[in-house]
């Protein structure tokens, strides 16, 4: 964090359709400096580091759940490639959440509770 007057930057990474945008928007509405980051589309497994995050949330979701959530035009091989590109973010994540069983509201509330215990937002 660059100064005590700024809120910690929370970067949310994860596979497609894991809930990055939903969580980011929900946390922003609660006053967090949260940003979703489409790392899974990068050719570099380290690109998320350019944002210099204070806290990294990694969202994971099973391929079967993704197919239920969204109409996707790609297969299991691309899903595995996304996970490969996200491995560094996974290893360095401050919080890892398996999102399969959460509704959007439940996910936001779950992460808010954990963040409230781990980082200061005011």
Give residue-wise pLDDT tens across range 48-97. Answer: 566 688 999 999 999 999 888 888 878 899 999 889 888 888 999 999 99
SS3 77: helix
Number of helices (H) and strands (E) in the chain: give both, helices first: 5, 4
For 13-30, what is each residue's pLDDT tens digit? 999 889 999 999 999 999
- The hierarchical CATH code for the domain 9-118 is 3.40.50.300
């Amino acid at each position: 964090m660059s100064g005590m007057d700024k809120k910690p930057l929370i970067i949310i990474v994860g596979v497609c359709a894991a809930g990055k945008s939903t969580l980011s928007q929900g946390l922003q509405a609660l006053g967090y400096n949260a940003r979703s980051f489409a790392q899974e589309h990068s050719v570099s497994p380290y690109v998320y580091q350019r944002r210099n995050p204070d806290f990294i949330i990694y969202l994971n979701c099973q391929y079967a759940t993704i197919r239920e959530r969204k109409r996707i035009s790609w297969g299991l091989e691309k899903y595995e490639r996304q996970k490969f590109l996200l491995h560094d973010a996974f290893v360095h994540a401050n919080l890892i959440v398996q999102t399969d069983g959460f509704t959007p509201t439940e996910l936001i509330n779950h992460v808010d509770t954990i963040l409230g215990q781990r980082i200061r937002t005011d």
